[in-house]
Amino acid sequence: MTADEDWRALNRANWDERVGIHLKAPGYDLAPLRAGRGRLNAVEEAELGDVRGLRVLHLQCHFGADTLCLAQRGATVVGLDFSPAAIDAANALAVELGLTGRARFVCADLYDAPSAIPEPASFDLVYVTWGATCWLPDMRRWAEIVAGFLKPGGRFYYADGHPAALVLDDLVPRPDGMPGFFAPYLDRRALTFDDPNDYADPEARLENSRNVSWLHPLSDIVTGLIDAGLSLDWLHEHAQVPWRMFRILVQRDDGDWHWPDRPWLPLAVSLQASRRR
């Protein structure tokens, strides 16, 4: 899979189809958001801090649940996603919740964000979480885009599946039920899948099942941000993740999925970086 049009078209069709599934899926509970008490996942709730009065850019926002949660907390938020179906759903949800004055949504590919949102160096916070960077081939360009939107002194918050965990998968489980090796950590080539399953609804079956992703080593993500002009404030590794990454994981009271016995390896990573003045 080498042509730009191929991976983008496959992934857009895949994510367009997921929108309708996720709006009803058990993995996306919109009831708290509709009640005015939207919650982020456990990791972000512990780390992100107060966003009141901040101007926030949420890249790869899907149908905007987290975007609107930040708006409910007093931020003014712009959400961007490449799926027209996702942006339509986000706009409808913003109207339903009465948040159109605090949240707006833009439909564009991540790499087209600077032209789709021509507001350089104007955001206090850029926010990217969960299942985002694996869909992008170029981490250096991604980091440049993130940095370009931040005001001097502005901060970037990132949380996602840990690249070390993404080496493993349940496609070939071991006899003890643990996931087996799936993709080499330092092999940066595109990975093409044909998988009809959806992470948020175990009953759903996707018709647009083909997709293309990349496994980016943590060093590529961090070094890309530093080279783009950001300073790393902190980096945390977590033995939990908001979706059932592997079948052996168990869900705990915080809503996240954890190893059943010992924290064998990190399942998620989060970091904050600031734009140097």
Q: How confident is the model at residue 3 (pLDDT cuts 50, 70, 90)?
A: very low
For residue 262, what are the CA distances in angstroms to 215, 251, 258, 265? Answer: 25, 14, 9, 9
Distance CA 269, CA 9 (A): 28
pLDDT of residue 2: 46
Our CA angle for 115, 227, 219, nearest 5°, is 110
DSSP assignment of 87-149:
HHHHHHHHHHHT-TTTEEEEE--GGGHHHHS--TT-EEEEEEESS-GGG-S-HHHHHHHHHHH
State pLDDT tens for residues 29-83. 999 999 999 999 999 999 999 999 999 999 999 999 999 999 999 999 999 999 9
State the average pLDDT over residues 88-107: 98
For residue 167, what are the CA distances in angstroms to 161, 180, 196? Answer: 11, 8, 20
Helix 4-22 with 84-97: angle, nearest 10 deg: 30
State the average pLDDT over residues 3-15: 85
pLDDT of residue 177: 85
pTM of the predicted model over 0.85: yes
Q: How buried is residue 270: exposed, middle or buried, by Cβ count under 10 Å (0-12/13-18/19+)?
A: buried
Could you give the 3-state DSSP secondary structure of residue 5?
A: helix
Torsion angles phi and psi, residue 18, rounded to 5: -65, -25
pLDDT of residue 5: 53
Q: Which amino acid is at 130?
A: W
pLDDT of residue 55: 98
State pLDDT tens for residues 162-210. 999 999 998 777 888 899 888 999 999 999 989 999 999 989 999 999 9
State the average pLDDT over residues 143-153: 97
State pLDDT tens for residues 219-265. 999 999 999 999 999 999 999 999 999 999 999 999 999 999 999 99
Mean pLDDT of all residues belonging to the chain: 95
